[in-house]
A and B are shown apart, each in its own frame.
Chain A
Amino acid sequence: MGQCQTCFHFSADPLCEICRDQKRNQGLLCVVADSRDLLALERTREYRGFYHVLGGLISPMDGIGPEVLQISSLVQRVDHDDISEVILALTPSVEGDTTSLYLARLLKPFTKVTRIAYGLPVGSELEYADEVTLTRALEGRRAME
């Protein structure tokens, strides 16, 4: 299976089903670590914007720096498209927080950046969070400094 050329979600076509959906809110972009997190958020049916899949989290210990993730493509997207808000939905681990902080500084010149609030249990992975918690976390998102 291939990847969507825009958001890097699993897709057989060059443009995935979500990116093709014209009814979605064009101004909202949600950043996730991988496709499983995207699917977890889709199950909430609460979020109606677009996504960007990074393909992992920054983790110097594992040799993963910003250059191996879909970060420059994200900056390009935010720069070119008319995006009013980027929502960072990364798991609140050390690696997730590092990535969020790094992205927030990078994207702030272009648009408003928020992160989902920590209604999530500490140490829990996004994938296992139940839908109610995720919905609450989405509603409670706040702007990053």
Chain B
Amino acid sequence: MTDKRLLIIGPNGIGKSNLLEAVELLGSLRSHRCSSDQDLIQWDQPQALIRAKANEHEILELELRRKGGRQARRNGKSLSRQLDLIGPLRCVGFSALDLDLVRGEPALRRQWLDRVVMQLEPIYADLTSRYKKLLRHRSHLWKQWRHQPAQQRDSLLDAFDVQMALVSTRIHRRRRRALKRLEPLAAQWQSWLSQGQEQLQLSYLPGSHLEGDEAEEPWRLAIESQLLAQRSEEERLGSCRVGPHRDEIGLLLNGNGARRFGSAGQQRSLVLALKLAELELVSELCGEPPLLLLDDVLAELDPRRQKMLLDAVGEKHQCLISTTHLEGFQTEWQQGSQIIEAGSLISSADVG
């Protein structure tokens, strides 16, 4: 990829998104589309390999195995931790899923925030995957040990409470901090997009009851007692009532909830403001502008917002863009772009 913008055009199902997803995986070790590696490997194959030349002297590789486990390599050398792959290929993705960031379920906003925290602190991935696992074990525990002696079940739940309280504290703290850094950036973009008409506020609404500042010990103990207190309700409803899996991010435009009261246009602009804030924060952090992945999303934006996105991204970021058709594309986006038909791309995709 030599030009500022690479525009990949082709019909659905030809592998455009796969290519962008592969870049995203190498850059962030995550896919916005799937949470399990199983779904990233071709169905009849035992493993998948992504290899890319990130720059003059760096070749990155990530191998996914169906049995589980990943192996990362840098210039052919195996890395003991896949986290060490993060760095040379920073990227920020923007896909059709993100268009629901404002209107959609809280889970979408948590995922967005988590992607940002991941870029700030790669180790965060360990925390979230640990937390997910704890939640899964916990729900199985209720199902299987429902008829077991309560004493044994309760001692097991105690063991989970202790771990969940600690991991939850660390997740809450990181999400809150990241949101604090994002807020001024997003507010500035929102103001720019609305020509000064709209003032944005982001608020962190944690799924645990947290008081005071980020002191680890008080938060941990508070969450532990909340977990204990909700057990009978948890048994009745079949899901844990406390923790970061119930976090919400409040979006206020001029003091009103944007999710319910914002117009369609305001919501679209807000999505853009949130993504631009993410892009800016990640740039600031890694010292160089990250690669922007626009997966099937540009043609979904109206001409005015396309233009604004282009102005904001400018010549600073390299963009990888996928689309099924060029209609609806502002011509400015096509200028200076290398345009590739997806069919021809597949044959040369493995050299990246």
A109 adjacent to chain B (CB < 8 Å) = no
Q: List chain A residues, Cβ under 8 A from B158.
A: 101, 105
Q: A101-B162, A102-B155, A105-B158 are in contact. Are A94 and B138 (CB under 8 A)?
A: no
Q: List chain A residues, Cβ under 8 A from B160.
A: 98
1/0 per residue, CB under 8 A from A, across B149-191: the answer is 0001001101110110000000000000000000000000000
State which of A25-33, A39-47, A59-67 sits at the interface with chain B: A59-67
Q: A59-B137, A60-B140, A66-B156 are in contact. Are A123 and B162 (CB under 8 A)?
A: no
- From residue 83 to 107 of chain A, which have CB atoms closer than 8 A to chain B? 94-95, 97-99, 101-102, 105-106
A122 adjacent to chain B (CB < 8 Å) = yes
A106 to B81, CA, bound (A): 35
1/0 per residue, CB under 8 A from A, across B237-248: the answer is 000000000000
Chain B nearest CB, measured from A133 CB (Å) = 12
- Judge whether B141 and A60 touch: CB under 8 Å: yes
B316 adjacent to chain A (CB < 8 Å) = no
- Judge whether B126 and A122 touch: CB under 8 Å: yes
| Beta-carbon nearest neighbor of B126 in chain A | A122
The contact of B163 among A61, A94, A123, by CB within 8 Å, is A94
1/0 per residue, CB under 8 A from A, across B126-147: the answer is 1000100110111011001100
Q: A60-B140, A123-B126 are in contact. Are A102 and B80 (CB under 8 A)?
A: no
- Judge whether A61 and B162 touch: CB under 8 Å: no
Interface size classification for chain A? 20 to 34
The contact of A61 among B81, B136, B148, B159, by CB within 8 Å, is B136
1/0 per residue, CB under 8 A from B, across A102-145: the answer is 10011000000000000001110000000000000000000000
A53 adjacent to chain B (CB < 8 Å) = no
Chain A nearest CB, measured from B221 CB (Å) = 12
A105 to B141, CA, bound (A): 18
Task: Give the A-B contact count at a CB cut-off of 8 A.
Answer: 54
- Judge whether A102 and B159 touch: CB under 8 Å: yes
Q: List chain A residues, Cβ under 8 A from B163.
A: 94, 97-98, 101
Chain B nearest CB, measured from A86 CB (Å) = 16
Interface size on B, residues (CB 8 A): 22
Q: List chain B residues, Cβ under 8 A from A102.
A: 155-156, 159
A95 to B152, CA, bound (A): 16
- Judge whether A98 and B159 touch: CB under 8 Å: yes
- Judge whether A66 and B126 touch: CB under 8 Å: no
- Judge whether B80 and A121 touch: CB under 8 Å: yes
Q: A98-B156, A98-B159 are in contact. Are A60 and B126 (CB under 8 A)?
A: no
Chain A nearest CB, measured from B159 CB (Å) = 4
Q: List chain A residues, Cβ under 8 A from B144.
A: 60, 63, 65
Q: List chain A residues, Cβ under 8 A from B155.
A: 102, 105-106
- Judge whether B152 and A94 touch: CB under 8 Å: no
Chain B nearest CB, measured from A106 CB (Å) = 7
A78 to B75, CA, bound (A): 52
- Judge whether A101 and B81 touch: CB under 8 Å: no
A121 to B81, CA, bound (A): 9
A60 to B143, CA, bound (A): 9
A70 to B136, CA, bound (A): 24
Q: A94-B130, A98-B163, A101-B163 are in contact. Are A61 and B156 (CB under 8 A)?
A: no
Chain B nearest CB, measured from A18 CB (Å) = 29
Q: List chain B residues, Cβ under 8 A from A122.
A: 126
Q: List chain B residues, Cβ under 8 A from A101.
A: 158-159, 162-163
Q: List chain B residues, Cβ under 8 A from A59.
A: 137
A105 to B163, CA, bound (A): 14
Q: A61-B140, A98-B137, A98-B160 are in contact. List 20 more A-B contacts (CB 8 A).
A: A60-B140, A60-B144, A61-B133, A61-B136, A61-B137, A63-B140, A63-B144, A65-B145, A66-B152, A67-B152, A94-B133, A94-B137, A94-B163, A97-B163, A98-B163, A101-B159, A102-B155, A106-B155, A121-B80, A123-B126
- B residues contacting A by CB (< 8 A) are 80-81, 126, 130, 133-134, 136-138, 140-141, 144-145, 148, 152, 155-156, 158-160, 162-163
CB<8 Å pairs between A and B, sample of 12: A61-B140, A63-B144, A66-B152, A94-B137, A98-B156, A98-B159, A102-B155, A105-B155, A106-B155, A121-B80, A122-B126, A123-B126
Closest 7 CB pairs of A and B: A101-B159, A60-B141, A60-B140, A60-B137, A102-B159, A94-B133, A98-B159
